[in-house]
Structure 1
Amino acid sequence: MKILWVDDHELLCVALSEYLQTHASELSATPIDVTPVFTLARALEEVNKTPSPDLVFLDLNLDDENRGAATLEHFQAGNPSKVPVVVCTGLTPGNDQEVEILRMCMRDYAARGILLKGGAHKKMFIGLSRILGGELWIPEEVLLRFARSTPAPSASRNEHHLGLSPREWDVGRCIARGLSGKQIARELNVTEGHVRQVSCVIYDKLRVRNRVEAALRVNAELGGGSGPDKGSS
């Protein structure tokens, strides 16, 4: 697997690249080759080479002109092969404005996941492993902020959203809030087995692979977003 790691903090970029290669056997079933680059211009050169990278980790603040979601927008405009991009950022889920930047990256610019530089190392390691395994990954604290900052829907809009039945929609909204199967069962007064069955139906109807992708679809619907498919692609 060929990976491009883009960060203007050169020491950090090189250190993360070396860490990824050193722990490749723990993170991925295939060998990993990581190329660290420090500017957006160089990243665009690399992503257009043949063969192109299989995955890109992109910092959002590279220089004075490329900051926030605009960095991902500029990169995706020069990414004709649609190489998957994971946002690796120092933004924090405790800041409303920064949460909206992360939401834009997922919803509008097709990010394949989020890694927080300031998060716990163990969580980042888990996220790396899931991403390298082909999953979409968003830290739980970010997902919870996505749910909390989404306006509540009116009762008349709850039914048959995204093709889900009222009961499936109830479970879907709980998934979007980051609740576990046990917590959902307790809140809806059903069994955990029922929650698992309904969750599988939801994944099938929404054409998603896991809880994170389902949560993104439901959150986009709750917010009235114009492109929920982009957030889960």
Structure 2
Amino acid sequence: MKILWVDDHELLCVALSEYLQTHASELSATPIDVTPVFSLARALEEVNKTPSPDLVFLDLNLDDENRGAATLEHFQAGNPSKVPVVVCTGLTPGNDQEVEILRMCMRDYAARGILLKGGAHKKMFIGLSRILGGELWIPEEVLLRFARSTPAPSASRNEHHLGLSPREWDVGRCIARGLSGKQIARELNVTEGHVRQVSCVIYDKLRVRNRVEAALRVNAELGGGSGPDKGSS
């Protein structure tokens, strides 16, 4: 089994990779080969090699530009072979905002499981074993928080307007409001480069040529005005 472990804390990344290989016989019925990488760009290079990895463990906070659920979204956009991805994170189930990030990873971006870096060593070992056995694994404390904090239904998360994904729809609505790339990045807590990338996908899906045409399409879907806002209240 070929595994890619992605974490920008190089010492931790190498230590976890070596731990996995050292205890391979206890965790998996098949031999394990682990490649540690320290950036999202390098991870995308590795996942597109032939043969591709069988499994990826991905930290969500890799650097200033790749943080939270957007990190998994970026990775999945460059993961054409749909290699299974497990989130390995320092996020905690005691924080409502962080619980929602974990929920988004499972619901919107097809994570195959969650490992908590700050969790008990024994639980992480059990989770690794279950994941390597092909199971979807979520720690019990995360499952309990999911059950207690189920969010109210949201149109942007439950309906694929105009064939756009939830994140694309969020960006599309910002475009329809006339926000700049910098303003959209700030509002959605992503990078300007990510906004440009998603915008290009939106233009392609909607078969439009620019922001104005995209805004018209989104506003029509929303039942609103004829174009982006001009700053009026």
More relative contact order in 1 or in 2 (CA 8 Å, sep 6+)? 1
**Helix, strand or coil: the match of 2:57?**
strand
State percent identity of aligned pairs. 100
Which piece of structure 1 moves more, 195-204 or 76-85? 195-204
**Helix, strand or coil: the match of 1:231?**
coil
CA distance in 1, matches of 2:28, 2:71: 27
Which piece of structure 1 moves more, 185-194 or 109-118? 185-194
Structure with higher Rg: it is 2
CA distance in 1, matches of 2:131, 2:7: 18
8 A Cα contact 2:28 2:132, kept in partner: yes
Which piece of structure 1 moves more, 55-64 or 163-172? 163-172
Query: What's the CA shift string for 1:189-210, capped at 9, x where partnerless?
Result: 9999999999999999999999
Alpha carbons of 1:74 and 1:166: their partners in 2 closer, same or farther (altered >3 Å)? closer
Alpha carbons of 1:214 and 1:104: their partners in 2 closer, same or farther (altered >3 Å)? farther
Query: Offset of 1:150 from its aligned partner?
Result: 1.5
Query: What's the CA shift string for 1:81-139, capped at 9, x where partnerless?
Result: 00000000000000000000000000000000000000000000000000000000000
Structure 2 stretches lacking a partner, 5+ long? none
Query: Offset of 1:50 from its aligned partner?
Result: 0.1
Which piece of structure 1 moves more, 198-207 or 109-118? 198-207
Structure 1 stretches lacking a partner, 5+ long? none
In the other structure, the counterpart of 2:67 is 67
Query: Please, what TM-score do these two structures have when normalized by structure 1?
Result: 0.66
Structure 1 residue ranges (4+ consecutive) displaced by more than 6 angstroms after TM superposition:
152-233
8 A Cα contact 1:61 1:68, kept in partner: yes
Query: Offset of 1:187 from its aligned partner?
Result: 44
Query: What's the CA shift string for 1:199-222, capped at 9, x where partnerless?
Result: 999999999999999999999999
* Matched residues, number: 233
8 A Cα contact 2:3 2:56, kept in partner: yes
Query: Offset of 1:5 from its aligned partner?
Result: 0.1
Query: What's the CA shift string for 1:8-41, capped at 9, x where partnerless?
Result: 0000000000000000000000000000000000
Alpha carbons of 1:34 and 1:85: their partners in 2 closer, same or farther (altered >3 Å)? same
In the other structure, the counterpart of 2:11 is 11
CA distance in 1, matches of 2:97, 2:83: 27
8 A Cα contact 2:185 2:191, kept in partner: yes
Alpha carbons of 1:41 and 1:165: their partners in 2 closer, same or farther (altered >3 Å)? closer
CA distance in 1, matches of 2:164, 2:9: 45
8 A Cα contact 1:208 1:232, kept in partner: no
8 A Cα contact 1:87 1:115, kept in partner: yes
Alpha carbons of 1:224 and 1:29: their partners in 2 closer, same or farther (altered >3 Å)? farther
Alpha carbons of 1:130 and 1:136: their partners in 2 closer, same or farther (altered >3 Å)? same
8 A Cα contact 2:2 2:55, kept in partner: yes
Which piece of structure 1 moves more, 214-223 or 22-31? 214-223
Which piece of structure 1 moves more, 65-74 or 182-191? 182-191
8 A Cα contact 2:157 2:166, kept in partner: no
8 A Cα contact 1:107 1:230, kept in partner: no
Query: Offset of 1:169 from its aligned partner?
Result: 32
Which piece of structure 1 moves more, 193-202 or 63-72? 193-202
8 A Cα contact 1:162 1:206, kept in partner: yes
**Helix, strand or coil: the match of 1:65?**
coil
8 A Cα contact 1:21 1:33, kept in partner: yes
**Helix, strand or coil: the match of 2:230?**
helix
| Aligned CA-pair RMSD | 15.3
Alpha carbons of 1:52 and 1:204: their partners in 2 closer, same or farther (altered >3 Å)? closer
**Helix, strand or coil: the match of 1:230?**
coil
Which piece of structure 1 moves more, 7-16 or 206-215? 206-215
Query: Please, what TM-score do these two structures have when normalized by structure 2?
Result: 0.66
